Amino acid sequence: MLRGKSIKTLQELEQDEIYAILSRAKELKSWLRMRKEHQFLKGKTIALLFEKPSTRTRVSFEVAIAHLGAEPIYLDSSDLQISRGESIEDTAKVLSRYVDAIVMRTYSQDRLNKLAYYSSVPVINALTDDFHPCQILADFLTIYEKKRRLSDLKLAYVGDGNNIAQTLLIGCSKLKMDIWVSCPNGYAPKKEVIDLALTNAKGESIVKVINDPKEAVKGADIIYTDTWVSMGQEEEAGKKRKVFQFYQVNEDLVSLADESFIFMHCLPAHRGEEVVGEIIDGKHSVVFEQAENRLHIQKALLNLIM
C-alpha cells in the first residue's frame, strides 16, 4: 500500500495498526459531520499520478487533501514525459523534490514498487493490477459500521480473482474475518497471495478459494463482487462475460446468505453482469456508504503517514 522509508504494505501492517487507521477515519468522519477544522497538512503538496481512469479514488483523495489544508496536483500520466519513455526511476526522483507525497494508480505492482523505491517521499497505492488497499480499508470501516465487528463474520467474494479479491484475502485474514472467494477455473487469485492469507489466518479464521459461488455465499454476512473486466483487460471482455455468467450476484444466489447480509461492490458496477439491479439498488446494499468511506480513509491515511 505505502512505501518509502518506514511505510508499509497492507500485508506488513499488524492488526492493531489496521484498527488504528479505521479508528482515525471514524474520528475524522465525525469531525466532518461537526464541521470541525483539521488542517494537519497545511502547506503540503501531494501529487496524484494516475495511469488508469478513476472517479472515487481521485475525487476522494483530492477532497481529503483539500480538507486537510494541503494542495493536490492531479497528473494524468499521458501528459507527463513518462508517456514518451522517461523512466519511473527519474520520475520518482524528480517528483520527490517538488511534492510531499505521491498517490499512484498504475498497472503492475512492480511499477508502483519501483516508484516507491526511488521516491524519497511516501507513496500510496491507489490501485494496481494486484492490490487496492485504500478501497479495502474503506470497506472494513463500512463493515464495522454495519456489523459492529470485523472478526467472527463470513465474507463471500463472487467473481474474478482480481486486485479486489486479492486485497480482501490479505485484509480479511489479517483481521480474522472468514473469507470465501468463489471464481471460475483459471481466474483464481495468485497462489502466493492465497498462501499469504493462509499464513496470516494462522488457522484462526477460514481462507477458502473455491469454484462454487453457492457454497461461498451459504450463511454469509457479507457478499462482495466486482467487475468481471478490470481496467486494462478490455480485450478479454467477450470471453470473460461468458466464463463468468454463473457468477452473477442475483436473487437466487443471495437467498443462501444470512438474512441480514450486506452487499458490497467497490464500483464502478455493471448492472446485469456481475450483479443485478435489484441487489445493488436494494435494501442490503451498502455500496454508496463504501464509496463515501473512501474519503474518510484517505484522510486518515494521509494524516497518519505524513
Residues tagged active-site: 105, 132, 135, 226, 266, 294
- DSSP label at residue 267: S
Residue nearest to ligand CP (CB): 57
The residue whose grid cell reads 464500483 is 267
Q: Which does 55 bind (CB under 5 to 8 A by kind): ligand NVA, ligand CP, none?
A: ligand CP
Residue 267: CB minimum distance to ligand CP, A: 5
Q: Which residues of 101-120 are buried (b: 16+ CB within 10 A; e: fewer)?
A: bbbbbbeebebbbbbbebbe
Q: Closer to ligand NVA at the Cβ: 163 or 285?
A: 163
Cα 152 to chain centroid, rounded: 21
Q: How many residues bind ligand CP (CB under 6 A)?
A: 9
**Concatenated DSSP letters for 107-175?**
S-HHHHHHHHHH-SS-EEES--SS--HHHHHHHHHHHHHHHS-SSS-EEEEES--SHHHHHHHHHHHHH
Q: Could you say which of 267, 284, 289, 304 contacts ligand CP (CB under 6 A)? A: 267
* Polymer length in residues for the chain: 306
Q: Closer to ligand CP at the Cβ: 118 or 224?
A: 224
Residue 229: CB minimum distance to ligand NVA, A: 8
Q: Closer to ligand CP at the Cβ: 88 or 266?
A: 266
Kindly state the cell numbers that stand for 216.
461461498
Q: How many residues bind ligand NVA (CB under 6 A)?
A: 9
Find the distance separating the first CA and the last CA of the chain, reported in whole Å: 14
Q: Is 167 in the site for ligand NVA (CB under 6 A)?
A: no
Cβ atoms < 10 Å from Cβ of 40: 16
Q: Is 54 in the site for ligand CP (CB under 6 A)?
A: yes
Stretch that binds ligand NVA, among 78-86, 110-118, 162-170, 235-243 (CB under 6 A): 162-170
Q: Which does 227 bind (CB under 5 to 8 A by kind): ligand CP, ligand NVA, none?
A: ligand NVA
Binding residues (CB under 6 A) for ligand CP: these are 54-57, 127, 135, 266-268
